[in-house]
């Protein structure tokens, strides 16, 4: 009997083409352990596709602003000179830690159709765990009421979710919390936190973009 080796491979996450500026340091880092970038402009950004945290340098003469959306993909970039690599959540500046909630919320709201579709299609993760249970604030009771309501008709918007499922009073805020949990690698991933719905699992060896 022949084995079927044509197993469906997990789809790769799309590369980041755009990012939102969380913090811009025109004089670079001042910490001694980051002396490599002292005196050199650097920005901490978050990708709009997979919420990848990155460090970038602007082109000469370009000053970036917090909340700026910049192109970081292949080809000609108008504001970004170089992508230095991935940034660990723990190395976000104080400003970056404040701004990340707003940035994630803005990214989600600007792609409402995509994330409403996520709610409409999300299914079980294992025989015992539903992916919805990975979202902060969702227990089994809330999950089943949501699933039953979804069976009647797919959700059309975040507002539609809020109106039809009262326990989902802030679906965007729930996603923001989940995404931050996935990005925060300051502690070992255990239980529900070890899964990645919206971001890629952290890697230590990062290839720098040219």
The predicted-structure confidence for 87-137, as pLDDT tens digits, reads as follows 999 999 999 999 999 999 999 999 999 999 999 999 998 888 899 999 998
For residues 29 and 39, give the distance between their C-alpha atoms in angstroms, rounded to a whole number: 7
pLDDT of residue 8: 42
Give me 28's structure tokens: 């670079």
Judge contact between 59 and 79, C-beta under 8 A: yes
Give the residue extent of every domain in the chain. Answer: 18-93, 111-194
Residues 6+ apart with CB under 8 A from 192: 129, 133, 134
CA 72 to chain CA centroid, nearest Å: 16
Question: For domain 111-194, is the CATH number 1.10.3720.10?
Answer: no
pLDDT of residue 189: 73
CB-facing half-sphere around the CA of 59: CA atoms within 13 A: 9
Give me 70's structure tokens: 């910049």
pTM, entire model: 0.85
Spell out the CATH class of 18-93.
mainly beta
Judge contact between 86 and 109, C-beta under 8 A: no
Give me 164's structure tokens: 């039809």
């Amino acid at each position: 009997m022949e084995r079927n080796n044509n197993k469906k491979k997990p789809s790769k996450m799309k590369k980041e083409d755009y990012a939102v500026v969380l913090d811009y340091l025109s004089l670079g880092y001042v910490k001694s352990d980051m002396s490599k970038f002292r005196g050199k402009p650097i920005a901490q950004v978050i990708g709009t596709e997979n919420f990848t945290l990155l460090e970038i340098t602007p082109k000469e003469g370009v000053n970036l602003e917090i909340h700026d959306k910049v192109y970081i993909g292949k080809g000609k970039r108008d504001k970004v000179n170089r992508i230095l690599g991935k940034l660990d959540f723990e190395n976000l500046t104080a400003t970056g830690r404040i701004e990340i909630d707003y940035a994630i919320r803005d990214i989600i709201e600007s792609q409402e159709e995509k994330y409403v579709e996520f709610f409409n299609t999300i299914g079980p993760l294992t025989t015992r765990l539903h992916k919805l249970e990975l979202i902060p604030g969702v227990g089994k009771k809330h999950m089943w009421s949501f699933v039953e309501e979804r069976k009647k008709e797919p959700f059309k918007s975040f507002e539609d979710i809020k109106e039809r499922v009262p326990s989902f009073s802030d679906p965007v805020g729930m996603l923001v919390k989940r995404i931050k949990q996935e990005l925060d690698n300051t502690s070992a991933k255990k239980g529900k936190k070890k899964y990645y719905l919206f971001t890629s699992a952290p890697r230590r060896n990062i290839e720098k973009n040219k």
